[in-house]
Structure 1
Amino acid sequence: MILDLFFPNRCIHCGRIIDAKLLVCSLCFEQIHFTHYDYFGDTIIKEKCRLLFPVENTYALMKFEQDGLSQKIIHELKYKSRENAGKTLAEWTTERLDFKEEKPDLLLSVPLHPKKLKERGYNQLHLFTETLSKFHSIPFDHELIQRNHYSKAQALKDKKHRLETKNPFSRSKSISGKHILLIDDVFTTGNTVSSIAWEILNSGDNRVSVLVMAVDA
């Protein structure tokens, strides 16, 4: 396309010109610190989640590093209108994640408040979730959980303010007897996924697992 000639896609890390569908060049790709977690194994995410709510399995694609490549990738997705980056991250995830014979019943991504969704124009987790759904043949539901309050990004809040937030999410309907995989971008304190997990667990005989693009640990 003509636009590609005048505005070529560049690696978000080193600036080399790359294919329009890529985020990073092959050299920079080797610098991404993938976790190589076992979905069924003991991870730092599982340890933290178990302090907050009963969790089945956990997985993180990357290690989140301040000012590192993983942070650049997440920020491209969240704040620079690179919604398609979610598809790329999902493809990287499917190459590394093995549910074996225990696939979850439903994929559920952390929602944005309607005002935030309008400002950003998209939920950075939706295309990621939908790509995983298609690959693994697992349904998703973007309407099950709603965010009740409009607030600034979790990353910009101090720890005390995060812990003080009450009932940030609610269910739009009842759900029972399901194993739900809860999807978020970055796992830090675990408070966001914990709030949603309890909405699910209190609804019926449900189980919750957690998948994130990156873990800050």
Structure 2
Amino acid sequence: MILDLLFPNRCIHCNRIVSGDLIVCGICYSQIHFTHYDYFENNPVKEKCSLLFPVEHTYALIQFEEESLSRKIIHELKYRGREKTGKIIADWTTERLDFKNEKPDLMVTVPLHPRKLKKRGYNQLHLFTETLSKFYNIPFDHNLVERNNYSKAQALKDKKTRLETGSTFSVTKNISGKNILLIDDVFTTGNTISSIAWEILNAGDNKLSVLVMAMDA
């Protein structure tokens, strides 16, 4: 209680005091550019994924624009130690995403290399995915895919480098006949998601859909 008085939680955009379970105030929330994509219809994520690998359905919650509040929110989650932001983004997702009668069988997260995980202290996708899993009653697996190579953050690479150098991933378990939802934070070139998608698709007779927090323009 004393710490809350001395160091109140503040909106990351305008610095207004907000309750501890929020990251932005009501006024700034209206400035977030939600995509309003339909999971079952064609959208920019599906158009880009379809050029790289067979994909069933796709969804992105927000637009990842330069100098935007959306970008700031993702950066708070990934680089500022605010892991709880993952739950907030998941809550926003559940308000907008309806799987109807085609729920995935399993949610799978993009892994961090153990070295990067140790440095950051958490995988920014885990709390997000676990919150979605509880809401939709869909199991998750954070260990189905592992990252074999250590590389610097995608945000620190130029576009050419992101296209030319992909991390190597591998599937750690036998899996076949599943409808898998692959989850990542930001869709940029699709290089990372594509690398993992092919590992999962080649592991067995699986189908793959994609869910990302944000879509880069």
TM-score, length-normalised on structure 2? 0.98
Q: Secondary structure at the residue paired with 1:146? A: strand
**Runs of 5+ unmatched residues, structure 1:** none
Is 1:42 the equivalent of 2:65?
A: no
Amino acid at match of 1:122: Y
Percent identity over the alignment? 74
Aligned to 2:14: 14
Distance 2:140 2:158 in 1: 32
Question: Counterparts of 2:42 and 2:158 in 1: how far apart (Å)?
Answer: 28
Residue 187 of structure 1 deviates from its aligned partner by: 0.5
Find the aligned partners of 2:166 and 2:67 in 1 and give their Cα distance: 31
1:86 aligns with 2:86: yes
Does the alignment pair 1:103 with 2:100?
Answer: no
Tell me, in whole angstroms, the C-alpha distance in 2 between the residues paired with 1:89 and 1:98: 15
Aligned-pair Cα RMSD in Å: 0.9
- CA distance in 2 between counterparts of 1:16 and 1:166 reads 40
Q: 1:36 to 1:79 in 2, by over 3 A?
A: same
Could you tell me which residue of structure 2 aligns to residue 53 of structure 1? 53
Q: For residues 183 and 212 of structure 1, what CA distance do their matches in structure 2 show?
A: 6
Supply the distance in 1 between the matched residues of 2:33 and 2:93 (Cα, whole angstroms).
13
Q: Deviations over 1:6-60 (max 9, x none)?
A: 0000000000000011000000001111001100010111000000000000000
Paired with 1:166 and 1:182, the residues of 2 have a C-alpha distance of: 17
Point out 4+ residue stretches in structure 1 off by more than 4 angstroms. none
SS of residue in 1 equivalent to 2:203: coil
Shift of 1:166: 4.9
- In structure 1, how many angstroms separate the alpha carbons of the residues matched to 2:115 and 2:79? 15
Give the CA deviation at 1:66: 1.1
- 2:195 is paired with a residue whose SS is helix
Gaps of 5+ in 2: none
Q: Deviations over 1:94-144 (max 9, x none)?
A: 000010000000001110000000000000000000000000000000111
Change (3 A) 1:59 1:166: closer
- Note the C-alpha offset of 1:167: 5.4
* SS of the residue 1:12 aligns to: coil
TM-superposed CA distance for 1:148, in Å, is 0.8
Q: State the distance in 2 between where 1:12 and 1:112 align.
A: 25
Question: Residues of 2 paired with 1:145 and 1:117: CA distance?
Answer: 14
Contact 2:170 2:199 in 1 (8 A): yes
Indicate if the aligned counterparts of 2:163 and 2:189 stay in contact, CA closer than 8 A: no
Deviation at 1:165, TM superposition (A): 2.5
Indicate whether 1:146 and 2:142 are aligned.
no
Q: What secondary structure does 1:4 align onto? A: helix
Matched, 1:30 2:30: yes
In the alignment, the residues of structure 2 paired with residue 161 and residue 216 of structure 1 have an alpha-carbon distance, to the nearest angstrom, of 16
